[in-house]
Amino acid sequence: MPNPWTGKGNPYTREEVIERLQDSLGRGEPIIAAGAGTGISAKFIEKGGADLIIIYNSGRFRMAGHGSTAGLMAYGDANAVAMEIGEFEVLPVVEEIPVICGVHGSDPRRRMWHFLGQVKDMGFSGVNNFPTHSIVDGKFRQILEETGMSVQKEVDMVGLARRMDLFSIVYVGSPEEAREMA
């Protein structure tokens, strides 16, 4: 179903995104999800035939010539950066394909139900758990888990997004995490 206000494009419901992806698979095509850090990259991603555009806070760093791992560091408000890229750069120029918001699910300053409502209201069709703690291991991972900034928070965020009719595409670091996210 197209956007009820404009007649095309975002936001899509969770089921509509899944149907679009199943259509690609039904045609024997791979599913392609590409990250966009600017409007021009989003335009080219859409014209190139991708199935999903994902907005990561790390896109801001990549566009400035830095590595994506800068998005995992405390160089800014990851959730605010992703929302800003979406609102002012990507959502205004994408015509048809679903746009997904990278959400830092363990952000202790957010009431996640409220933030996900803002994500949905902005026009995003889904969420991705980035920055993610699933790629962190060792002592730092242990400290994150012990202090409540855990992968479980990401799992909870994805479950909440599903209940709010947002599509989710996730990062996981183990089969156990994959089962929890499913």
- CATH label of the domain that carries residue 97: 3.20.20.70
Say if 117 falls within a structural domain.
yes
Confidence of residue 154 (pLDDT cuts 50, 70, 90): very high
Say if 7 falls within a structural domain.
no
- pTM of the entire structure? 0.91
Say if 3 falls within a structural domain.
no
Say if 2 falls within a structural domain.
no
Say if 154 falls within a structural domain.
yes
Does the CA dihedral 46-50-54-56 come out positive or negative? negative
- List pLDDT tens digits, range 20-42: 999 999 999 999 999 999 999 99
Q: How far is CA 103 from the centre of its chain?
A: 6
3-state DSSP percent of the chain in helix, strand and coil, to 5 = 45, 10, 45
Residue 59's contacts (CB-CB under 8 Å, 6 or more residues apart) are 35, 36, 37, 38, 71, 85
Provide the residue range defining the domain that includes 58: 14-21+32-181
Say if 50 falls within a structural domain.
yes
CB-based contact 53:98 (threshold 8 Å): yes
At 97 the pLDDT is 96
Say if 49 falls within a structural domain.
yes
Say if 58 falls within a structural domain.
yes
Counting the structural domains of the chain, the total is: 1
Cα end-to-end distance, the chain, whole Å: 25
- List pLDDT tens digits, range 59-116: 888 887 888 877 777 788 999 999 999 999 999 999 999 999 999 999 999 999 999 9
At 172 the pLDDT is 95
**HSE, side-chain direction, 13 A CA sphere, residue 42:** 26
H-helix or E-strand containing 55? Answer: strand 52-55
* Cα-based angle 178, 180, 182 (whole degrees, multiple of 5): 70
Distance of alpha carbon 19 from alpha carbon 22, whole angstroms? 5
Tell whether the model's pLDDT for residue 4 goes beyond 90.
no
